[in-house]
Amino acid sequence: MGLLNAFKLSLLLPKKKAVYQLNRVKTKDFLLYILLLHVLFALPNGVSLIVDFMKSEDLDNTLLLAGFLYPLLVIMTGTIIISLLAMVGVLVRWMTKRKLVYQLLWKMAMYACTYPVILYVISSLLHQTTTIEYIGLLLLFLIIFTKMILTYPQMKK
């Protein structure tokens, strides 16, 4: 139930109530949510990778690459990208003088990625994704993430 609740709340972002409730999600559910989002993000490329390798009839390499190495690569790069996006949040936090720590910004960045990831998957499954679409998804993330940061109070002087 916690994973579905986290997903439902992340779809309500950047509403203030949803932002605060997401910070109360249990760590177990948050980690499952991260994994689910990474799997969803890897789905379009993973399917095409499996289809390409099945055509080559090299089942051992297909299993190794599609079953183990590709998901590991997606999780590692996804974690690095979320960390970089959280650093953008540190910059926004500093500019707006908000009272937030990096760990919370990392968690918020992960939840703010929900809409862009869903739109990316839909777009990738329908057609080849263009650079303009990537920029649009990044802007969507930045808008949601900035609004989430702005829901927190400013630091007292």
Q: Is 38 exposed, middle or buried (0-12, 13-18, 19+ CB in 10 A)?
A: buried
pLDDT of residue 32: 85
Say which DSSP state 113 is in: T
pLDDT of residue 93: 94
pLDDT of residue 1: 56
pLDDT of residue 146: 95
As beta bridge partners, residue 154 has 98
SS3 label, residue 98: strand
> Which residues lie below 8 Å from residue 124, measured CB to CB, with a gap of 6+?
44, 45
Q: Which residue, chain included where needed, has tokens 């009839």?
A: 57
In total, how many domains does the chain have?
Answer: 1
H helix or E strand, kind and range, residue 126? helix 114-126
pLDDT of residue 49: 72
In a domain, 156, yes or no: no
pLDDT of residue 136: 95
pLDDT of residue 36: 84
Which range marks the domain in which residue 86 is found? 2-150
Low-confidence ranges of the chain (pLDDT < 70): 1, 54, 56-67
